[in-house]
Structure 1
Amino acid sequence: MTATEASLAPVALVVDDEPQMRAIVTFALETQGFRCLEAGSAERAWELVETTPLDLVVLDVMLPGEDGIALCRRIREGYQVPVILLTARSEVGDRVEGLESGADDYLTKPFSPRELALRAQAVVRRSRPAVSPGRIVVGSLEIDLATMRASDQGEPLQLSVNELRLLVALASRPGEPIAWRDLVHEVWATVSDEGGREMLKTAVYRLRSRLEADPSRPERILTVRGVGYRMLPR
């Protein structure tokens, strides 16, 4: 895989406390074009979820400490990344519990690496935002790039040029933590880091006032501590 191909490849986080199983899953996904990160514990997995833009999490249920079901619930509370659960349990009740935790798919061990890879491709494809030429849709938010107009739940949003640029930057990568410096560069380009950060905070505040039911408790434009911001579909 070239450097360019790697930068465009979907990123999967493989979480299992058994190195051999991580290697099997990683190999299966990499053969289908994924770039893989690995974690041997829920704690390490959560660190990567919080700091790394991910397209998929493949998560073993039987982790030491915090198990995969609990971690899946925690991921689902704040992130839209698809999750596939892996487990040796094959009972219907276990499958139901896994899906109720927010998992997008559930695969029992032993499994076919080819089947895992195909399911991974399917859940990632389904998770992609609805984007057509000149149009971005994230939940109830719609942006027409041709006219540079945005609406939420069918109601037009009155935004400044820079507010709309910021909204486009966030909505183009839903669920992905975006560094504040990258957002400043995309929206204002030439301002300094110090001045740009303050301008960004002000623009985020204004967007929240238009998009959030309670701007003091945002659910759509979230702060990622130490990184920047990310947008969730609602």
Structure 2
Amino acid sequence: MNTILIVEDDQLINEGLSFMLQQENYNTISACSYQEGWSAFTNHKIDLIILDINLPDQSGTVLCEEIRKSSQVPILFLTANDTEQDMVKGFCLGADDYIAKPFSMLVLSKRIEAILRRSHTHESDNLYTYANLAINFDKMQVYKKDQEVKLTANEYKLMAILAQNNGQVLTRQMILEKLWDVDGNFVDENTLRVNIKRLRNKLEDDPKNPAIIKTVFGIGYTWGD
């Protein structure tokens, strides 16, 4: 069952959306502010976000920008800001759809169905996002800020090992046991260090202060926190 996060400060609209979506067999989580919305997003698995722009503590556009730094979860803006400029800005920030108030519940329901259908189709491509990276494991493609990053076979395999164990500390020995070069030769520790350095140069914004591939001194490496 899909979970939809509703970030809307108008209590009547929020409750009405929750009721409608629950009737259509969605789980819903309600938030009335930027802070509540961010907390719900970071603490739950969310399949789609309905997001108002005019929130009491911060603009919904800022929340959209923050979410897009780490996730491609579908976002549907639901707002009274209905000018063409507002809509274009919403799409540029990464919104998947934009509905102006007042709105039809039936139209909203169909838009949600379409967004989730597209989202599930994309999931079948085994797409993984982290920070400003997007990795398509099925196609063995890596993108940084929407620009494709070219990796060697060994670099890609090393990156995949780390990314697929996101947040776990992998010892050098654990990595070396998984990592063989394209000719079937065992990769030694020096080769591992070289490939880590090359990956950081290609993936990190600041390779000297890595935020993605981190060294755990005396042990090994970890992807992310």
Under TM normalisation by the shorter chain, which class is it?
Answer: 0.5 to 0.7
Pairing 1:65-144 to 2, within 5 Å after superposition: 65-128=57-120, 129-131=122-124, 136-138=126-128, 139-143=134-138
Code of the aligned partner of 1:39 = A
In the superposition, relative to structure 1, how do residues 157 and 31 fare at CA in structure 2: closer, same or farther (>3 Å)?
A: farther
Residue aligned with 1:61, SS: coil
Q: Is the 8 A contact 1:143 1:168 kept in 2?
A: no
Larger radius of gyration: 2
Unpaired runs of 5+ residues, structure 1, are: 1-8, 145-149, 171-179, 181-199, 224-234
Code of the aligned partner of 2:44 = T
Q: Is the 8 A contact 2:18 2:28 kept in 1?
A: yes
Q: Is the 8 A contact 1:24 1:113 kept in 2?
A: no
Task: Tell me by how many angstroms 1:201 deviates.
Answer: 1.3
In the superposition, relative to structure 1, how do residues 222 and 34 fare at CA in structure 2: closer, same or farther (>3 Å)?
A: farther
In the superposition, relative to structure 1, how do residues 119 and 169 fare at CA in structure 2: closer, same or farther (>3 Å)?
A: farther
- Quote the Cα distance in structure 2 between the aligned partners of 1:117 and 1:42: 24
Alignment match of 1:202 (pick from 155, 164, 170): 170
Code of the aligned partner of 2:170 = T
In the superposition, relative to structure 1, how do residues 201 and 31 fare at CA in structure 2: closer, same or farther (>3 Å)?
A: same
Pairing 1:1-234 to 2, within 5 Å after superposition: 9-128=1-120, 129-131=122-124, 136-138=126-128, 139-143=134-138, 156-157=153-154, 200-202=168-170, 209=196, 213-214=203-204, 216-218=210-212, 222-223=224-225
- Quote the Cα distance in structure 2 between the aligned partners of 1:48 and 1:218: 24
- Superposed CA RMSD: 3.4
Partner deviation per Cα, 1:172-197 (whole Å, 9 max, x = no partner): xxxxxxxx7xxxxxxxxxxxxxxxxx
In the superposition, relative to structure 1, how do residues 90 and 131 fare at CA in structure 2: closer, same or farther (>3 Å)?
A: closer
TM-score normalised by length of structure 1: 0.62
Unpaired runs of 5+ residues, structure 2, are: 129-133, 143-149, 180-194, 214-222
In the superposition, relative to structure 1, how do residues 155 and 114 fare at CA in structure 2: closer, same or farther (>3 Å)?
A: farther
Partner deviation per Cα, 1:11-69 (whole Å, 9 max, x = no partner): 11101111111012112322333200001111111111112111111011111120111
- Quote the Cα distance in structure 1 between the aligned partners of 2:199 and 2:109: 37
TM-score normalised by length of structure 2: 0.64
- Quote the Cα distance in structure 2 between the aligned partners of 1:68 and 1:151: 31
Partner deviation per Cα, 1:139-190 (whole Å, 9 max, x = no partner): 543259xxxxx78668545859xx85x85576xxxxxxxxx7xxxxxxxxxx
Task: Tell me by how many angstroms 1:222 deviates.
Answer: 3.8
Aligned residues: 175
Partner deviation per Cα, 1:198-217 (whole Å, 9 max, x = no partner): xx312699699496623722
Higher relative contact order (CA 8 A, sep 6+): 1
